[in-house]
């Protein structure tokens, strides 16, 4: 992606295809060389994350192909000896360190090497071995240690007091056994990751559940499996083949994609994963801008189990772990089906070396049923019909965060609609319970095993530019009109619009009773009916926070208190829960951003949408959960002069009736 060229002085610069292209393996290596050459990196400093420091918006929008653009990398490191976090900005163009900041008040996301080292430290710990022996477990080769972020229970968990992780225990009956089916209840290990000091809590012995919870083709046959399928997999499933003999309808140039009338740029970061930039739609001879940047800002999973072994669990999967670094390498026919284009992604390891995630992003077209249709009855009894089939472009990535899998899907439609969908699957985080007892907040899924109630929250940051950067947001509520002269039969209702003029006004909740939605409008760009062009954000199913006000979950998950937030654009405001949610008490992110109460009238603004799901676990969610979906739509609302999909051709000759 990057081409070295010489400037007038003979020094090497980098000409990139686009200033928003993700970091390449060469750029990761170069960043590490600059850091190493500085002499400021001791042997116990580990690289947490490299991410592209995106250029200013005006620089990106003015970019012309072939121009040289300075490339900068934002670096987060952890000095385990001095127990502090380091932030640095590296100029790849100048090969210099532009800034350096050392902090003891924050903890960056966890990394694989830390987790692996902590697991071994627990296994080697005498107090842990005694807790296992108390339960009759002396052969530690079958013991599995799996991590949870530390959360924040009180001042002892503050970021300045250490770098913590908590771990739970289970037993594996073999190399392919689902060890989540056999939790060793009551034992919690807390590890300080800078020093690898282990502290063991033992909340009492509960029998380890004996039933299996396997989901492989062979594993489901066993009589002790829950559920058991002695006959194995189904034999009546015929293949479905998806082919495009003439090729796909999209074109890819580096990270720029064109599909029918859409144009956009594909990005990727270690924290957010899949990012879409510069989303535009071709109309009336030009590309019209819709979104400057769209990405998952944060994920939050608070658990509702009040027992001492589980009440600490509330995880920020993006800010405490990283959605991008946990992206799967997707496989044709398994994760994606059809004629596929893949994008690789490059992240870094703890030594600052590149790690390429092959096929991290999948893109393909798929049939989506009916696009539009009308059948007309003629006076002579004959009929005439027009029908078009819908097609959508799918851009997706899947991440495994411990026990759960999350699929992130952007859909682009032929009528100008965008959709974001999260597919939740994977394994619940179960717990053991004594025979005859019932969980306070959860559901039994197998003998002695239950799934705790929990919630999944997602926040997507939408840097909007509907026909340009000067936008406003209005809330729309459908209300019945009162009986009267203007409504003599009581059937009339209207869609009332309310301008959200400031950040304090733009903290809103869904309201299905009024079919509430929000429009992002551009008052300076009028459609053919002399109305401001707009796109509307359409909620789908959602959830409200269920944790008590004042609880650690309430304090930390502040962004969940509103479904819609709108802020004036600030490039430093990227994450709904703040830059470093790990071990933070709360208050950062959106609750802090909106304290400025900036104007939102005809300005460069950012829309943040929070959506979620209450997961009341079902027995059918065990041992692996069928996909559950949540998300939202962005639909044109006066952006076009009419149906923009009228020019989609009929699918086959025999469908043409005009």
Q: List, in sequence order, every residue forming a beta bridge with 267; answer none if it has no partner.
A: 275
Identify the active-site residue in 179, 404, 409, 413.
404
Task: Please list, residue by residue across 609-638, b when 16 or more beta carbons sit within 10 angstroms of its beta carbon and e when fewer do.
Answer: bbbbbebebeeebbbbbeeeebbbbbbbbb
Contacts of 498 (CB under 8 A, 6+ apart): 474, 475, 476, 477
Taking the C-alpha atoms of residue 638 and residue 636, their distance in angstroms, rounded to an integer, is 6
3-state secondary structure string, 138-204? CCHHHEEEEEEECCCCCHHHCHHHCCEEEEEEEECCCCCCCHHHCECCCEEEEEECCCCEEEEEECC
Structural domains in the chain, sorted by start = 2-103 (3.10.450.40), 112-221 (3.10.450.40), 250-648 (2.70.98.20)
The pTM of the full predicted model, rounded to 2 decimals, is 0.96
Residue with tokens 């733009």: 506
Q: List, in sequence order, every residue forming a beta bridge with 273; answer none if it has no partner.
A: 269
**Is 597 in contact with 591 (CB distance < 8 Å)?**
no
Taking the C-alpha atoms of residue 498 and residue 478, their distance in angstroms, rounded to an integer, is 11
- Per DSSP, the chain holds a count of helices (H) and strands (E) of 6, 33
How does strand 605-615 pair with strand 273-283?
unpaired
Terminal Cα-to-Cα distance of the chain (whole angstroms): 48
The per-residue pLDDT for 656 is 52
Q: Is 434 exposed, middle or buried (0-12, 13-18, 19+ CB in 10 A)?
A: exposed
- Bond before 547 cis per omega within 30 degrees: no
Taking the C-alpha atoms of residue 426 and residue 615, their distance in angstroms, rounded to an integer, is 13
Contacts of 605 (CB under 8 A, 6+ apart): 464, 471, 472, 473, 520, 566, 567, 568, 569
Taking the C-alpha atoms of residue 324 and residue 53, their distance in angstroms, rounded to an integer, is 16
Active site residue 579: no
**Is 360 in contact with 327 (CB distance < 8 Å)?**
yes
The per-residue pLDDT for 440 is 96
Measured CA angle at 116 (ends 115, 118), to 5 deg: 65
**Is 77 in contact with 47 (CB distance < 8 Å)?**
yes
The per-residue pLDDT for 653 is 58
**Along the chain (658 residues), what's the average pLDDT of each consecutive run of 10 residues?**
34 61 97 97 96 97 89 98 98 97 98 97 98 98 97 95 98 97 99 98 98 98 98 96 94 97 98 99 98 99 97 97 98 91 98 97 97 95 94 98 98 99 99 97 98 99 98 99 96 98 99 99 98 99 97 98 99 99 98 99 99 99 99 99 97 58
Helix then strand then coil, % of the chain, to nearest 5: 15, 45, 45
Identify the active-site residue in 194, 317, 467, 621.
317
What does the DSSP 8-state code read for residue 219? G
Active site residue 404: yes
The per-residue pLDDT for 13 is 36
The per-residue pLDDT for 17 is 85
């Amino acid at each position: 992606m990057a081409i070295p060229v010489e400037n007038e002085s003979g020094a090497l610069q980098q000409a990139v295809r686009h200033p928003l292209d993700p970091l390449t393996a060469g750029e990761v290596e170069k960043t590490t060389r600059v850091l190493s050459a500085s002499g400021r990196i001791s042997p116990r400093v580990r690289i947490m994350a490299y991410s592209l420091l995106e250029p200013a918006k005006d620089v990106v929008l003015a970019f012309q192909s072939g121009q040289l653009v300075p490339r900068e990398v934002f670096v987060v490191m952890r000095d385990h000896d001095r127990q502090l976090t380091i932030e640095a900005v590296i100029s790849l163009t100048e090969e210099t360190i532009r800034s350096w900041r050392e902090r003891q008040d924050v903890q960056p996301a966890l990394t694989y090497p830390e987790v692996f080292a902590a697991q071994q430290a627990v296994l080697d710990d005498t107090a842990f071995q005694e807790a296992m022996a108390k339960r009759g477990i002396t052969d530690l080769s079958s013991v599995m240690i799996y991590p949870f972020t530390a959360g924040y229970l009180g001042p002892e968990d503050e970021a300045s007091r250490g770098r913590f992780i908590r771990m739970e225990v289970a037993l594996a009956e073999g190399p392919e056994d689902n060890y989540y089916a056999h939790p060793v209840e009551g034992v919690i290990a807390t590890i300080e990751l800078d020093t690898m000091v282990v502290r063991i809590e033992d909340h009492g012995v509960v029998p380890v559940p004996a039933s299996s919870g396997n989901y492989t083709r062979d594993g489901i046959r066993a009589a002790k499996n829950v559920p058991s399928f002695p006959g194995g997999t189904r034999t009546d499933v015929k293949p479905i083949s998806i082919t495009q003999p003439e090729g796909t309808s999209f074109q890819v140039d580096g990270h720029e994609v064109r599909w029918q009338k859409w144009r956009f740029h594909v990005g990727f970061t270690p924290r957010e994963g899949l990012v879409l930039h510069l989303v535009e739609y071709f109309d009336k001879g030009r590309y019209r801008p819709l979104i400057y940047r769209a990405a998952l800002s944060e994920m939050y999973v608070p658990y509702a189990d009040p027992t001492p072994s589980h009440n600490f669990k509330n995880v920020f999967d993006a800010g405490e772990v990283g959605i991008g670094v946990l992206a799967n390498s997707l496989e044709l026919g398994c994760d994606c089906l059809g004629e596929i284009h893949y994008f690789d992604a490059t992240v870094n390891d703890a030594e600052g070396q590149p790690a390429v995630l092959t096929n991290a992003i999948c893109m393909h077209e798929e049939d989506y049923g009916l696009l539009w249709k009308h059948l007309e009855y003629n006076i002579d009894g004959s009929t005439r019909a027009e029908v078009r089939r819908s097609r959508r472009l799918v851009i997706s990535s899947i991440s495994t965060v411990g026990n759960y899998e999350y699929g992130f899907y952007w859909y682009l439609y032929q009528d100008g609609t965008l959709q974001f969908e999260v597919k939740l699957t994977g394994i619940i985080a179960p717990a053991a319970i004594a025979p005859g007892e019932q969980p306070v907040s959860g559901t039994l899924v197998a003998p002695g095993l239950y799934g705790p109630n929990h919630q999944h929250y997602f926040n997507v940051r939408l840097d909007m530019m509907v026909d340009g950067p000067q936008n406003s947001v209005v809330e729309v509520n459908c209300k019945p009109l009162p009986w009267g002269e203007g409504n003599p039969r009581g059937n009339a209702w209207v869609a009332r619009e309310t301008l959200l003029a400031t950040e304090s006004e733009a903290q809103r909740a869904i309201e299905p009773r009024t079919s509430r939605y929000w429009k992002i409008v551009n008052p300076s760009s009028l459609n053919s009916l002399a109305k401001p062009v707009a796109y509307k954000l359409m909620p789908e199913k959602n959830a409200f926070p269920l944790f008590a006000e004042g609880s650690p979950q309430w304090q930390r998950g502040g962004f969940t208190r509103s479904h819609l937030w709108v802020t004036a654009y600030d490039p430093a405001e990227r994450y709904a829960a703040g830059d470093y949610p790990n071990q933070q008490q709360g208050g950062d992110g959106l609750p802090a951003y909106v304290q400025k109460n900036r104007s939102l009238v005809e300005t460069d603004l950012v829309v943040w949408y929070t959506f979620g799901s209450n997961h009341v676990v079902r027995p059918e969610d065990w041992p692996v959960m069928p996909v559950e979906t949540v998300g939202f739509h962005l639909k044109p609302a006066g952006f076009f002069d009419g149906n923009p999909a009228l020019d989609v051709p009929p699918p086959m000759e025999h469908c043409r009736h005009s």
